[in-house]
Chain A
């Protein structure tokens, strides 16, 4: 579905129409039919239901020919596409580093990374592309440190993960990109098995040695975390900055505060307002579900566009307004249910540091081109901007 011209921050008008007129309706998508669920409450009720599956190979999963073929190579698929109990077993192997207190302990390091990059921006030429010079390096440096992936290789995995997530890339291109990253992580896992360090991948290597996890599945988890760890946060940094530049009153409130509560509130509101996971979460129905008088049948698919759920007027008053002072904490930009984003505590902390620092240190930050010259990621698995030339 297309966004309206001139409204790059708003969900497609068609979704709003569905939410108002047919909040639970069958649609044709990817050459098959699936239930489109557009209300906030309905999404939360259904996505957490144990009768729905995240397994893309289950009948009815709405993906059409977008599914990559099963790969019998070096890496497992990662628990994002698995159901419990196997999903829970694997996920719990990597939850510890994302605990609130451990993420908080990383805050000074992240602040240092952000401050150093801003120093470089201020010392360098302008205009500059904020995506390449700032938005991508921050989460990339952070996730590399956490996982134990050499940051020198960032060109390689950023390029491949960007192809993998682009809906306009062919299935062959995406399969190749997936294979490239998979091979890389499989190699790296070998290194962690021989020379373990104090990082997340070495922790997984310990599990492999203990016979709790195969090397293939360990590499699969590595692929998942590496990709998820930088594309998403990078897009929130760049798109969030652009949204604020287009709402100068909101930007001013954020720039003029050092109240961590307001900064945190701004992060939640931008997550809600932008909901960059704009493709919607998807599931297959495993057993019939009676829902508000309708029967959702086993073998049918479900689509949850969380961007429109986060603009549901029943849940958020005046939902299309960006208001960093509102309480947006109940948004579902990270999804909902047992598959909710594993890295959300880290993403939140990174965004708090970025939004709390960038505009304060560069108060005259502004676009260097017109809004309509900025290429938006309409074809991205994650929404954002391909580049954002800024000056000050």
Chain B
């Protein structure tokens, strides 16, 4: 599984952090997404897909 985030699209909703806090974080100055790991373990697949689905800006792409 590979995760790609687009910081330009991101609107800092933080819902990816709520869905998968081991994979996503927010940068301190404006809350824009920070990817903690590009290749999260399979055990987090459901959470990562949830994060991508709730991102209002469609800024997260997951390649299985």
Q: How far is the CA of A137 from the CA of B34 in the complex (A)?
A: 35
**A101 cross-chain contacts in B, Cβ below 8 A:** 26
Contact check, B56 vs A48: say whether CB atoms are below 8 A apart.
yes
Does A99 belong to the interface (CB within 8 Å)? yes
Q: How far is the CA of A89 from the CA of B26 in the complex (A)?
A: 17
Smallest distance from the beta carbon of A134 to chain B beta carbons, Å?
A: 26
Q: Classify chain A: how many residues form its interface, as a range.
A: 20 to 34
**B18 cross-chain contacts in A, Cβ below 8 A:** 100, 345
Write out, one digit per residue, whether chain A residues 331-364 have a CB within 8 A of any chain B CB (1) or not (0).
0001111101000110000000000000000000
Does B36 belong to the interface (CB within 8 Å)? no
Contact check, B14 vs A99: say whether CB atoms are below 8 A apart.
yes
Instruction: Tell me the total A-B contact number using a CB cutoff of 8 A.
Output: 55
Contact check, B28 vs A91: say whether CB atoms are below 8 A apart.
no
How many B residues have CB within 8 A of the partner chain? 20
Q: Contacting B31 at CB < 8 Å: which of A48, A88, A99, A336? A: A99
**Secondary structure call for the A interface:** loop
Q: How far is the CA of A334 from the CA of B58 in the complex (A)?
A: 15
Closest to A329 in B: B54
**A330 cross-chain contacts in B, Cβ below 8 A:** 53-54
**A345 cross-chain contacts in B, Cβ below 8 A:** 13-15, 18
Q: How far is the CA of A96 from the CA of B57 in the complex (A)?
A: 17
Using a CB–CB cutoff of 8 Å, the interface residues on chain B facing chain A are 11-15, 17-19, 26, 28-32, 50, 53-54, 56-58
Using a CB–CB cutoff of 8 Å, the interface residues on chain A facing chain B are 48, 88, 91-92, 95-96, 98-101, 103, 329-330, 334-338, 340, 344-345
Given contacts A98-B14, A98-B31, 10 further A-B contacts (CB under 8 A): A48-B57, A95-B32, A96-B28, A96-B30, A99-B31, A100-B14, A100-B17, A329-B54, A337-B57, A345-B13
